[in-house]
Amino acid sequence: MTRKHGDRRTFLKGVGGAATAVGLAGCAGLGGGSERDFFKLGAVTSLSGDLRFGGGVTQRGYDLWADTINREQGGIEIDGETYEVEIEYADAQSNPSAGADAASQMINDGADAVLGPYSSNVTLAVCPIMEQNSMPHITGSAESPQIWQEGYEYSFGTIPTVSIIGNEATSALLNLDPQPDSVYVTAVNEPFSVATGESMRAAAEEAGITVENYEEFPRDTDYTNVVSAAQDADPDLHLHGGHIGSHVNLVNAAEQLGYNPDGFLMHYGVNTGSYKDGAGAQGPYTFGATVWIPSVDRSGGALFDSPQAYADASEAAYGSAPDYTQAGSTAAGVVFQEAFKELGSAPPLTQDDKDELIGILEEIEVNTFYGDVAFETEGEYFHNNINTQTLLIQLGEDGSPSIVGPEEAATDEANYPVPAWDER
Amino acid sequence: MSGPVPSLDRLPGEPRYWYAGLAVLLVAWPLLFGAFWARIGLGALMWIGLAQSWNMIGGYAGYLDFGHGAYFGIGAFAAAVAMAQFGYPFLVGFGLAILVSTVVAYLVAVPTLRLTGAYFAIATWAFAESIKQAALVTGITGGTFGLSLPRSPETFIGVPVPFEIAETFFYYAMLVLCLATMALTYYLFERHEFGYRVKALRDDQDAAESLGIDTTRVKRQVYVLSCVVAAVFGSVHAWYIVYVHPNDVLAPIITDRMVIMALLGGLGTLTGPIAGGLLVFLLERLSSVFLGSTTFYLPLIGILIMVTVLFAPSGIIGILRGEVDRDDVRKNVKELGEKFDLL
Amino acid sequence: MVDLGLFTQIVINGLLLGGIYVTIGVGFSLAFGVLEVVDFAVGEYVMVGAFMGAVLAPLFGAEGVFAIPIVLVVFFGVGALIQPLIHHVTTGDRPHPLLMGLVFTFGLATFLRGSVLTIFGPNNQDVPSSLLTGGVTVPGVGTFPVVRTVTAVFGVTALLVFMYYLYRTRGGMAIRAIAEDRTNARLMGININRYQSIAYGAYAALTGSAGVFIGMIFTANPGMGLQYTAFAFFMVVLAGMGYLPGVILAGIVLGLTQSFTAVYISGNLVLLVLFAIIYVVLLVSPAGILGKGEWAT
More confident residue, B119 or B227: B227
The CA angle A218-A224-A230, to the nearest 5 degrees, is 90
State the distance between the two ends of chain A, measured CA to CA, in whole angstroms.
Answer: 79
Shortest Cα distance, chain A CAs vs residue C263, angstroms: 6
**CATH topology for the A163-290+390-423 domain:** Rossmann fold (3.40.50)
Chain B residues with CB under 8 Å of C109 CB are 302
Q: Is pLDDT of A231 > 70? A: yes
The complex scores an ipTM of: 0.86
- Non-local (6+) Cβ contacts of A68 within 8 A are A303, A304, A313
How far is Cα A298 from Cα A63, in angstroms, rounded to an integer? 22
Is B313 in contact with C100 (Cβ distance < 8 A)? yes
Indicate whether C135 belongs to any domain.
Answer: yes
How far is Cα C147 from Cα C217, in angstroms, rounded to an integer? 6
Query: Quick one: pLDDT at residue B291?
Result: 60
Q: Of C81, C109, C282, which is closest to B119 when you measure between CB atoms?
A: C282
Enumerate neighbours of B (3 or more CB pairs within 8 A).
A, C
How far is Cα B106 from Cα B121, in angstroms, rounded to an integer? 17
- Tally of residues, chain C: 297
Is C263 in contact with A273 (Cβ distance < 8 A)? no
Average pLDDT over every residue of A149-173: 93
How far is Cα A190 from Cα B246, in angstroms, rounded to an integer? 10
Beta bridge partners of A90: A44
Is A232 in contact with C6 (Cβ distance < 8 A)? yes
Q: How many domains does chain B have?
A: 1
For A108, the closest chain B residue by CA position comes to B36
Indicate whether C194 belongs to any domain.
Answer: yes
Query: Quick one: pLDDT at residue C280?
Result: 92
Query: Quick one: pLDDT at residue B13?
Result: 64
Top residue of C8, C110, C126, C151 to mutate, by most chain A CBs within 10 Å, is: C126
Q: Is pLDDT of B4 > 70? A: no
Query: Quick one: pLDDT at residue A15?
Result: 45
Query: Quick one: pLDDT at residue C297?
Result: 41
Contact (Cβ atoms closer than 8 angstroms) between residue C174 and residue C195: yes
Q: Does A52 touch chain B (CB under 8 A)?
A: yes
Q: Does C59 touch chain B (CB under 8 A)?
A: no
Q: Is pLDDT of A192 > 50? A: yes
Residues of chain C with pLDDT under 50: 1, 296-297
Alpha helical stretches, state H, A74-161: 96-108, 120-132, 145-149
Query: Quick one: pLDDT at residue A261?
Result: 95
Beta bridge partners of C145: C135
Q: What is the Rg, in whole angstroms, of the alpha carbon atoms belonging to chain C?
A: 19
Contact (Cβ atoms closer than 8 angstroms) between residue C9 and residue C142: yes
Q: Which amino acid is at C18?
A: G
Phi, psi of B35 (to 5 degrees): -60, -45
> Residue B11 burial (CB < 10 Å; 0-12/13-18/19+)?
middle
Across A42-51, B268-277, C104-113, least confident range: A42-51
Is A29 in contact with B37 (Cβ distance < 8 A)? yes
Chain C residues with CB under 8 Å of B263 CB are 99, 103
Give chain B's count of helices (H) and strands (E): 15, 2
How far is Cα B125 from Cα B307, in angstroms, rounded to an integer? 25
Shortest Cα distance, chain A CAs vs residue C233, angstroms: 16
Query: Quick one: pLDDT at residue B173?
Result: 96
For B25, the closest chain A residue by CA position comes to A19
Query: Quick one: pLDDT at residue B312?
Result: 84
Range of C138's domain? 24-229
Strand order in the sheet with A263-267: A210-217, A182-188, A237-241, A263-267, A287-290, A391-395, A401-405
How far is Cα C122 from Cα A53, in angstroms, rounded to an integer? 6
- Tally of residues, chain B: 343
Average pLDDT over every residue of B107-132: 92
Query: Quick one: pLDDT at residue B7?
Result: 41
Average pLDDT over every residue of A143-156: 90
Give start-end residues of each CATH 3.40.50.2300 domain in chain A.
38-160+298-373, 163-290+390-423
Averaged pLDDT score across all residues of chain B? 88
Q: Is pLDDT of B290 > 70? A: no
Q: How confident is the model at residue B8 (pLDDT cuts 50, 70, 90)?
A: very low
> Residue A191 burial (CB < 10 Å; 0-12/13-18/19+)?
buried
Q: Of B133, B340, B342, which is closest to C271 when you measure between CB atoms?
A: B133
Across A406-410, B30-34, B133-137, B280-284, least confident range: B280-284
pLDDT digits (tens, 9 = 90+) for A266-278: 998 898 888 888 8
Averaged pLDDT score across all residues of chain A? 87
Enumerate neighbours of C (3 or more CB pairs within 8 A).
A, B
Is B299 in contact with C241 (Cβ distance < 8 A)? no
More confident residue, A300 or B7: A300
Q: Are strands A81-91 and A38-45 parallel, antiparallel or unpaired?
A: parallel
Angle (deg, nearest 10), helices B252-265 and B272-285: 130
The DSSP H or E segment spanning A2 is: helix A2-29
Is B39 in contact with A191 (Cβ distance < 8 A)? no
List the 171-230 stretch of C: residues with Cβ below 8 A of B. 191, 193-194, 197, 226, 230
Contact (Cβ atoms closer than 8 angstroms) between residue A189 and residue A244: no
State the distance between the two ends of chain B, measured CA to CA, in whole angstroms.
Answer: 60
Query: Quick one: pLDDT at residue C16?
Result: 94
Query: Quick one: pLDDT at residue A21?
Result: 45
Top residue of A62, A105, A122, A192 to mutate, by most chain B CBs within 10 Å, is: A105
Give me the percent of chain B exceeding a pLDDT of 70. 93
Q: How confident is the model at residue B292 (pLDDT cuts 50, 70, 90)?
A: low
Is A224 in contact with C259 (Cβ distance < 8 A)? yes
Query: Quick one: pLDDT at residue B5?
Result: 38
Among residues A100, A195, A119, A202, which one has the least CA distance to residue A157?
Answer: A119
Query: Quick one: pLDDT at residue B10?
Result: 52
Contact (Cβ atoms closer than 8 angstroms) between residue A217 and residue C262: yes
pLDDT digits (tens, 9 = 90+) for B139-198: 899 888 889 898 888 899 888 888 888 889 999 999 999 999 999 999 999 999 999 999
List the 94-113 stretch of A: residues with Cβ below 8 A of C. none
How far is Cα A30 from Cα A210, in angstroms, rounded to an integer? 60
List the 144-203 stretch of A: residues with Cβ below 8 A of C. 186, 189
Determine whether domain A38-160+298-373 maps to CATH 3.40.50.2300.
yes
Contact (Cβ atoms closer than 8 angstroms) between residue C209 and residue C72: yes
pLDDT digits (tens, 9 = 90+) for C239-262: 987 788 899 999 999 999 999 999
Is B35 in contact with A108 (Cβ distance < 8 A)? yes
State the distance between the two ends of chain C, measured CA to CA, in whole angstroms.
Answer: 47
The DSSP H or E segment spanning A393 is: strand A391-395
Query: Quick one: pLDDT at residue C178?
Result: 85
**Where residue B221 sits, what CATH number does that domain have?**
1.10.3470
Q: Which amino acid is at A131?
A: E
Q: How many domains does chain C have?
A: 1
What's this model's pTM, rounded to 2 decimal places? 0.88
Q: Is pLDDT of B232 > 90? A: yes
Q: Which amino acid is at B326?
A: R
List the 112-141 stretch of C: residues with Cβ below 8 A of B. 112-115, 117-118
Query: Quick one: pLDDT at residue A93?
Result: 82
Q: Is pLDDT of A23 > 80? A: no
Q: Is pLDDT of B331 > 90? A: no
Enumerate neighbours of A (3 or more CB pairs within 8 A).
B, C
Top residue of C93, C94, C111, C229 to mutate, by most chain B CBs within 10 Å, is: C111
Q: Give the Cβ contact number of residue A71 at 10 Å.
A: 10
pLDDT digits (tens, 9 = 90+) for A289-309: 999 999 888 887 788 989 999
For A249, the closest chain C residue by CA position comes to C218
pLDDT digits (tens, 9 = 90+) for C159-205: 999 889 988 998 888 888 888 888 888 888 888 888 889 999 999 99
Shortest Cα distance, chain C CAs vs residue B226, angstroms: 18
Q: Is the peptide bond before A370 cis (omega within 30 degrees of 0)?
A: no
Indicate whether B208 belongs to any domain.
Answer: yes
Q: Is pLDDT of A114 > 70? A: yes
Q: Give the Cβ contact number of residue C120 at 10 Å.
A: 15
More confident residue, A19 or A252: A252
